[in-house]
Structure 1
Amino acid sequence: MAPLLLLLPALLQLAVAKALPLSCRNVTCGDHVVQYPFSLNSSASDCGYPGLDLLCEDNTTLILPVKSHRYRVFNIDYDTHTVAVSDADIDDGEHAGGCPRLHANLSIDTTSSWLQLTQSDSNVTFLYNCKKNISLYSAVELVGCREQDGELRTYVLPDGVTTGAEAYEYECEEVVVAPVLDQHKRMIVGAPGGPPPPVDNGSFGVVLQGGFELMYSRNSSHQCGTCERSGGWCGYGRNEETHGGREFTCFCDGGPAAERCGTCAPSTSMTFR
């Protein structure tokens, strides 16, 4: 009897492990713990919100892909539902010589995305390789970005204001609007209405490296709490009746449930990978 008692905890852990999809267990990437509503390295994950699948590069760097562009994750605060990120182009060294080179605007659908910018964020606008000098009062030229013997110049608009027409008016190659933390931007551009402090070429690269914040949706937090208090694990299953749409699911040692462990499981049309 004693050997059987010793085996019981291990058998229970094995039952729970089999009930949970691999992507739903706490996993790590470097110093980061990845848990619900995020998943790691799985494009077909059942754990976490759609679009919150993270990548782990070199077992150290956590990456959030947003429409094929890469953002490095500094920190995930599961209490405040915020994610601190920065554009991976800057982290990969594309700011040599004081020229912070970005290649993509952050594209977030504010009506459907699980991610949104926070009130801590602000914008700066980069106008790359312009043939005409920009005379806007707020424009700062990044001398380290000059190309073709100075004929092509790059500017930054610290106030982030742009209509997109500037690219045509000043014959610029590209315009990129970048979110940054407002407190970092104020350190180099000053408070609104006040005199701007001295700006050097490296300042905006440092601000971009400081990143910005995203907040992820709390839509299912109450469901997750109910599930976890019942001994389950939160995730999403695919409902074949809705053509593969994802529905909140509580994973339990006895199988998936709709809301909490001890209740009826979802219909057999729910599938889990």
Structure 2
Amino acid sequence: MEAHLHPTLTLFVFTVILAICFPAIWCQETRPFDVCGQSVECGGIPIDYPFWGSDLPAYCGHPGFQLTCESNVPLLNYQSVNYRVLDTNTSTQTITIARKDLWANICPQFLYNTSYSSLFFQDDNFGQRNVSLYYECNTDLRLKPLGANFKFTCNVNDSESDGYFFRTDLIAPNMTNFLAQCKNHIDVPVNQSSAARLASTAATTEDLRSALMAGFNLQWTAPDDKCYQCIRSNGRCGSNLSLPELFVCYCDSGNFSVTCNSTNGSGGKYY
């Protein structure tokens, strides 16, 4: 006679098998070493250490370097301002960004200066310069020596008002009285080639728009030297799950440390 297991016993055996096997499989598939090895990108821009976001969790990057992907456009929110990420270069640790609010629009609703903390980024002398944008200026005054090239018009509170732009380091002392009558102004960095064009007395608002869309460069200060050592030891760069400000190297063995062939520094097992 053929033996049959009681349905209740069959369910029990199946449950025991899942209890034994499934956690091991789950841990193996979701451990940081595997997750941080994913190829993630947005708009053709790779998202990898020190950056994180989209499908890459925070422990695969460094705090302060989160990217979001909106309509296939990578965005970096920094100092309460959103920037479009145009390029990243891990070999030089540089990122090219452009103000989202000034993207093809020199009359934003809110005005913010561009600033960055040396804790995360530094200018690193890329030959860049600031351009100053002045808003709601006195339309009765004229900058006759400069002509009308540096003038633009914005609609503020349903009424048009004049604005002006100048490369900040080229603003002459005799212009300060005029510019002091403008209600608002902001400073925005532009890259070296854009700065050269905006230095010309023939510069136009189209040159300004092109400069703002071309963006500017920053060099990040995340511990990339440690990341290079980690990669050379066949590890994956990331941050400590418990202390995100600490760099760790996730290893195939399930350990994390400074490098995968080192027992020095902070380390442990993540599964």
TM-score by length of 2: 0.72
Give yes or no for the alignment of 1:18 onto 2:18: no
> Which amino acid in structure 2 is aligned with residue 203 of structure 1?
D
Q: Distance in 2 between matches of 1:167 and 1:15?
A: 67
Give yes or no for the alignment of 1:57 onto 2:70: yes
Give yes or no for the alignment of 1:47 onto 2:60: yes
SS of equivalent to 1:54: strand
Give the greater-gyration-radius structure (CA): 2
Task: Label 1:136 to 1:237 Cα distance change in 2 as closer, same or farther (>3 A).
Answer: farther
Q: Which residue pairs with 1:119 in the alignment?
A: 126
Q: For the Cα contact (< 8 Å) 1:257–1:263, is it kept in 2?
A: no
Task: Label 1:222 to 1:152 Cα distance change in 2 as closer, same or farther (>3 A).
Answer: closer
Q: Which residue pairs with 2:180 in the alignment?
A: 170
Q: Distance in 1 between matches of 2:65 and 2:241?
A: 16
Q: Which residue pairs with 1:3 in the alignment?
A: none
Give yes or no for the alignment of 1:108 onto 2:112: no
Q: Which residue pairs with 1:94 in the alignment?
A: 105
**Pairwise mapping of residues 86-235 of structure 1 onto structure 2 (< 5 A)?**
86-91=98-103, 93-95=104-106, 103-110=111-118, 112-116=119-123, 118-131=125-138, 133=141, 141-145=150-154, 152-160=161-169, 170-190=180-200, 196=201, 198-217=202-221, 220-235=223-238
SS of equivalent to 2:168: coil
Q: Distance in 2 between matches of 1:69 and 1:84?
A: 15
Q: Distance in 1 between matches of 2:159 and 2:150?
A: 11
Task: Label 1:137 to 1:43 Cα distance change in 2 as closer, same or farther (>3 A).
Answer: farther
> Which amino acid in structure 2 is aligned with residue 81 of structure 1?
Q
1:130-159, Cα deviation, whole Å (9 max, x unpaired)? 237375967964243376999842111223
Q: CA deviation at 1:199?
A: 2.9
Q: Which runs of 5+ in 2 are unaligned?
A: 1-23
Q: For the Cα contact (< 8 Å) 2:36–2:237, is it kept in 1?
A: no
Query: Aligned pairs, how many?
Result: 242
Q: Distance in 2 between matches of 1:227 and 1:181?
A: 33
SS of equivalent to 2:31: helix
1:240-272, Cα deviation, whole Å (9 max, x unpaired)? xxxx4621101012224221114448466x989
Moved over 6 A (4+): 136-139, 146-151
1:39-75, Cα deviation, whole Å (9 max, x unpaired)? 12489711222211111112x1011111221111111
Q: Which residue pairs with 1:261 in the alignment?
A: 260
Q: For the Cα contact (< 8 Å) 2:59–2:244, is it kept in 1?
A: no
SS of equivalent to 1:172: coil
Q: Which runs of 5+ in 1 are unaligned?
A: 1-10, 191-195
Percent identity of paired positions between Structure 1 and Structure 2: 22
> Which amino acid in structure 2 is aligned with residue 121 of structure 1?
Q
Q: For the Cα contact (< 8 Å) 2:40–2:55, is it kept in 1?
A: no
Q: For the Cα contact (< 8 Å) 1:125–1:160, is it kept in 2?
A: no
Q: CA deviation at 1:15?
A: 3.6
Q: For the Cα contact (< 8 Å) 2:240–2:248, is it kept in 1?
A: yes
Q: Distance in 2 between matches of 1:181 and 1:253?
A: 41
Q: CA deviation at 1:16?
A: 6.9
